[in-house]
Structure 1
Amino acid sequence: MAKQLIILTIIAFLLLPFLCYSFNPENPTTNPKILVLLDDFLIKSSHSIFFNSLQSRGFKLDFKLADDNQITLQRYGNYLYDGLILFSPSIKQFGGSLNLAGVLEFVDSGRDLIVAADSSASDLIRDIATECGVEFDENADAMVIDHTSYAVSDVEGDHTLIASDEFIQSDVILGSKKIEAPVLFKGIGHTLNPANSLVNLNDFLLTFFRSRVHKARSSNKHGKSGNELFVTELSKWVFHEKGHLKAVNVRHHKVEDGAEPAMYRIKDDLEYFIEIYEWTGKSWEPYVANDVQVQFYMMSPYVLKNLSTDQKGLYFTSFKVPDIYGVFQFKVEYHRLGYTSLSLSKQIPVRPFRHNEYERFLPAAFPYYGASFSTMAGFFVFTFIYLYNK
C-alpha cells in the first residue's frame, strides 16, 4: 500500500459522447454525484487535496472500497452516479454487481470515468483501459524514462521522474491561467490508440502536489509543481464543468416565410438557424465562435456556409437551394479541441419545378422569340405581295 501512495500514477481519460449528450442536456446536474472506489481508505486522506477540490465545487463523493458487496451503479434502470473514479489499481474483481461490462456501459451512456493505474495494475484495470483505447506496458517494471525532460534529483542518472511543461494548447481543457511550474510524472509506459478519436489521455501524479521541481537544463527552480493546478483544471473538464455544448431550436424556412416546409423546390431562397450554448457548471451560457458551419448535403455537400452569430447563442445563414432535386440533409458537424462534439442532421426533400411553375418567356430566349415573330411577319408580307401584286 505504501508503494501505491508514493508512486500512484493517475491516468485520466474522457470518452466524449456522440452528438452532444454526455449528461442530460436539458437538465444537467448542478451537484453531480461521483462514486469513488478505493483499494484502501487511506487513499481518501492521502489524496485529500484532490477530493477536497471536487467537493468544494459542489460534487458529492461517495467513497467505497472496490470490493464492497454493496456496490451498484444502477437502480431500477437509472444510474445513481454521474461519474466514476477508480483509485483501486490492484483490484482483481469489483464487489457487488459491478464488473467490466458495467463500467463500459456506464461510460457509453455518456458518463465520466477516471482510472488510476500503477506498476501493480490488475488485469481488470488494464482491460478497462484497453477497451477505452489505452494500453499499458505488459512489463510491470517498465518505467517511463526521459533523458531530456526529467526532474533533477539526488539520484544520479535516475531519469524516471519526468518534469514536463509542454501542455495541450487549450484553455477549455487546462484553463486560462498559465501553469507556471512543470508537471511531475512517474509511472509505467502506456500508449494511446490513434484510431480512437474519442479518448484523451493525461498523466499526473497526485502525491506530487506539494513537491519542489527543478527541470533539467533549466535555471528555474519552483517551490511547488504545477500538478495541483493541472489536475484541478483537468478534472473540471473531465466532469463537464466546462467545454460541454448543446444545440437547440434548429429550424429552417423560406425567406420571408416563418413556417418550416415539408419540402423545398429547387432555387428556393431559405434561411437556417441554430442555437448553441455552453455549460459553465451552473447554467447554460451563449457559445460564441466564428467557425460553425452548416452543410446542405446529398452524397456530398452542395452548399457549405459559415454561420453568422448574434453573440447571444444564435447562429444563422441563408442560401439558395441548388438546382438539383433529391433528398438533402442540413448537417452541422462541429469538432473543436476541448469541446464536446456537435453532430446534427435534418432531412428535407427538394423537388423540381412543376409544369406550371416554369417561366413562360425566358429573357435568354428573346432572340429566338424575335426570330420567330420576324419570320412570321416576313411570310405574311411576302404572301400579301405575292397575291395582290400585279
Structure 2
Amino acid sequence: MAKISIFLTVLSLIPLLCTSFSPENPTDRRILVLLDDLALKSSHSIFFNSLQSRGFVLDFKLASDPKINLQRYGQYLYDALILFSPSIKQFGGSLDVAAVLDFVDSGHDLIVAADTSASDLIREIATECGVDFDEDSAAIVIDHTSYAVSESDGDHTLIASDYFIQSDAPVLFKGIGHTLNAANSLVLEVLSASPSAYSSNPESKLSSPPSLTGSAISLVSVVQGRNNARVLISGSLDLFSNRFFQSEVQKARSTTKYDKSGNEQFVTELSKWVFHERGHLKAVDVRHHKVGETAEPAMYRITDDIEYLVEIYEWSGSSWVPYVSDDVQIQFYMMSPYVLKNLSTDNKGLYSTSFKVPDVYGVFQFKIEYQRLGYTSLSLSKQIPVRPFRHNEYERFIPTAFPYYGASFSTVYGGILRFHDCVPVQQVDVGKLTLLRELEDTSTFPEKF
C-alpha cells in the first residue's frame, strides 16, 4: 500500500500550538495512559508500540486506580496524557476534570477517545476543549452513502471517511460525532463525515430530523492552545484499534478494495503532530545591532540604521533542521508597529533584515508573533529605548530650519535698509548745550534766556 501523505495535510489543516515536552530530550518522554480495561493494551497494541518505538515511555493504569497522580511536589510526572477510558464516571486518585485541564493549561498534550458509552466526565473534558459531542447518548454516526462494505455492519455505522485527508485508503470510523464550538478559534476538524451522514440511534426509527447532519459532523478534531499545548479528540476508540488498523476496506459504491485501511498511517502521523514530533519550531540566538557593528547597544538613537537577526529551526523527529519560510515578520513596536518587515532567510535557519529607526523616541520593542497553521507559534519580544539627538549631535544648519534662517537674515537686511533711509541728525552747538546743563543745576531760571 502506498504511504499516506497525511503529514502534509495535517500541517495544512491544524491550528497553531506550543510544546508540552522538549524534543531536545527525546529519551525521557513519559505518557500516562488511562484505560477502561487493561485488555485495551493488547487490542490497541500497534498504536502503543508505535509510540514506544519513537522513544515514549508509557505508564498504563486503570482510570479508576486510586493511586493516579499527575504531579508530585508541584512537578508534573508526565509529558502527555491519553484517555482511552470513555465510560469512566470518576477518575481515581487526585485526578478530575480540573486537574486534566490544568495539565493542558501548563503546556502538556492530551488525547481523548470516546465512543457510544462516553460518560459525562469525558464529555465535559471535550466541551472545555471546544468540542461538543451529540447530546443523545445513544446516537451514533450513520452514513448510507459513504459506509464501509462489511458483512457484520448492516446499519451503516462503519464509515469509510476520506474527507479532510489525502490517502490512498479511507479511514475506518465507528463512534459518535461532535461539533466544534464556533466561539473557539483554536479547534479544527481533521476528519469529517460526508454530506450524507447524520447522527442518530440506529436501533430506533427517526421521528424528527437529527440534530447533527452532513459535513458539520466532526469525527476527529484537534486543538492547539495559545500556550502551544495540543489536544486530539476522537469520537471513536476503535479508530486506534488493531482491528481497524489491519482491516480491509471497500467504500460503498466503489469497486476498489484496499488490503489495509488508512487508520494506522492517519493515527501515527496525527499522534506525531500532537506530541510535537511534527510542526515544532524554536527560535535561538536573537540579536540586533547597528549596521556595520556587532555589539548589541543599550539603546538606539532616532534614524539609526539597525539590523535584526534570529535563527529558527524545526524538529524533524530526530534532530533540529533549518526552518525555511518567507512569511516571518519583525515589528518595531511602540503602542503600534512603526516598522513591519518580512525577514529574509539564507535557507540555513538564519533570518535577518535591516531598517532605519523611526524619528520618534521612546521605549520600543522588537516583536515576532509568528503563527502558521500546523506549527507551534513563536512569540519573541525585547524592549529597547530610543533617544533623540543630543544637543551636540544636531547639524549646524538643519535643512528644515532654512525658512527661519531666511526670516532672520531678511529681518537684519531690512533693518539696515531702514537705517540708511533715515534723515541725518543735525549737529548741536556744544556751547549752548553746556549752558543748558548749568542752568538745570540752579534752583531758578532767569525770566529770559
The TM-score normalised by the length of structure 1 is 0.83
User: Measured at CA, do residues 114 and 65 of structure 1 come closer, stay the same or move farther in structure 2, by a change above 3 Å?
Assistant: same
Match of 2:133 in 1: 136
1:79 aligns to 2:76 (yes or no): yes
1:236 pairs, out of 272, 293, 313, with: 272
Corresponding residue pairs, total: 363
| Counterpart mapping for 1:20-39 below 5 A | 20-24=18-22, 27-39=24-36
Separation in 2 of the partners of 1:159 and 1:343?
Answer: 47
1:345 aligns to 2:381 (yes or no): yes
Separation in 2 of the partners of 1:129 and 1:15?
Answer: 17
Match of 2:107 in 1: 110
Match of 2:226 in 1: none
Separation in 2 of the partners of 1:372 and 1:16?
Answer: 62
Which segment drifts farther, 340-349 or 275-284?
275-284
User: Measured at CA, do residues 222 and 266 of structure 1 come closer, stay the same or move farther in structure 2, by a change above 3 Å?
Assistant: same
Match of 1:278 in 2: 314
Structure with larger Rg? 2
Match of 1:185 in 2: 173
Match of 2:64 in 1: 67
Separation in 1 of the partners of 2:394 and 2:144?
Answer: 75
Shift of 1:22: 3.0
| Counterpart mapping for 1:1-390 below 5 A | 17=17, 20-24=18-22, 27-154=24-151, 158-167=155-164, 179-200=167-188, 201=221, 203=234, 205-207=239-241, 208-363=244-399
Shift of 1:334: 0.9
Shift of 1:238: 0.9
Shift of 1:67: 1.0
Separation in 1 of the partners of 2:316 and 2:91?
Answer: 34
Determine if contact 1:267/1:320 at 8 Å carries over to the other structure. yes
User: Measured at CA, do residues 217 and 334 of structure 1 come closer, stay the same or move farther in structure 2, by a change above 3 Å?
Assistant: farther
Separation in 1 of the partners of 2:65 and 2:33?
Answer: 12
Superimposed CA distance per residue, residues 188-235 of structure 1 (whole angstroms, 9 cap, x where no aligned partner):
121122333334515461231122222234342212111110001111
Superimposed CA distance per residue, residues 26-64 of structure 1 (whole angstroms, 9 cap, x where no aligned partner):
x43434111111111111111111111111112111111
Determine if contact 1:38/1:64 at 8 Å carries over to the other structure. yes
Shift of 1:275: 1.4
Separation in 1 of the partners of 2:66 and 2:385?
Answer: 56
Determine if contact 1:266/1:353 at 8 Å carries over to the other structure. yes
Separation in 2 of the partners of 1:110 and 1:210?
Answer: 34
Classify the secondary structure of the residue corresponding to 2:140: coil
Determine if contact 2:15/2:374 at 8 Å carries over to the other structure. no
Query: What is the percent sequence identity of the aligned residues?
Result: 75
Is there any run of 5+ residues in structure 2 with no aligned partner, and where?
1-13, 189-220, 223-233, 424-449
Determine if contact 1:165/1:183 at 8 Å carries over to the other structure. yes
Separation in 1 of the partners of 2:79 and 2:178?
Answer: 27
Shift of 1:118: 0.8
Shift of 1:162: 2.2
Which segment drifts farther, 125-134 or 144-153?
144-153
Shift of 1:363: 4.6
Match of 1:8 in 2: none
Determine if contact 2:19/2:108 at 8 Å carries over to the other structure. no
Matching residue's letter, 1:59: F
Separation in 1 of the partners of 2:396 and 2:144?
Answer: 80
Classify the secondary structure of the residue corresponding to 2:142: coil
Separation in 2 of the partners of 1:146 and 1:323?
Answer: 64
Matching residue's letter, 2:288: H
Determine if contact 1:33/1:61 at 8 Å carries over to the other structure. yes
Superimposed CA distance per residue, residues 290-311 of structure 1 (whole angstroms, 9 cap, x where no aligned partner):
1111111223222111111122
User: Measured at CA, do residues 386 and 301 of structure 1 come closer, stay the same or move farther in structure 2, by a change above 3 Å?
Assistant: same
Superimposed CA distance per residue, residues 149-171 of structure 1 (whole angstroms, 9 cap, x where no aligned partner):
33334589834322222335xxx
Separation in 1 of the partners of 2:182 and 2:337?
Answer: 27
User: Measured at CA, do residues 362 and 321 of structure 1 come closer, stay the same or move farther in structure 2, by a change above 3 Å?
Assistant: same
Separation in 1 of the partners of 2:126 and 2:114?
Answer: 9
Shift of 1:273: 1.2
Shift of 1:108: 1.3
Is there any run of 5+ residues in structure 1 with no aligned partner, and where?
1-13, 169-177
Separation in 2 of the partners of 1:138 and 1:371?
Answer: 82
Classify the secondary structure of the residue corresponding to 1:230: helix
Matching residue's letter, 2:259: G
Determine if contact 1:16/1:110 at 8 Å carries over to the other structure. no
User: Measured at CA, do residues 156 and 277 of structure 1 come closer, stay the same or move farther in structure 2, by a change above 3 Å?
Assistant: closer
Superimposed CA distance per residue, residues 43-95 of structure 1 (whole angstroms, 9 cap, x where no aligned partner):
11111111111111121111111111221111222211111111111111111
Classify the secondary structure of the residue corresponding to 1:358: coil
Shift of 1:381: 9.5
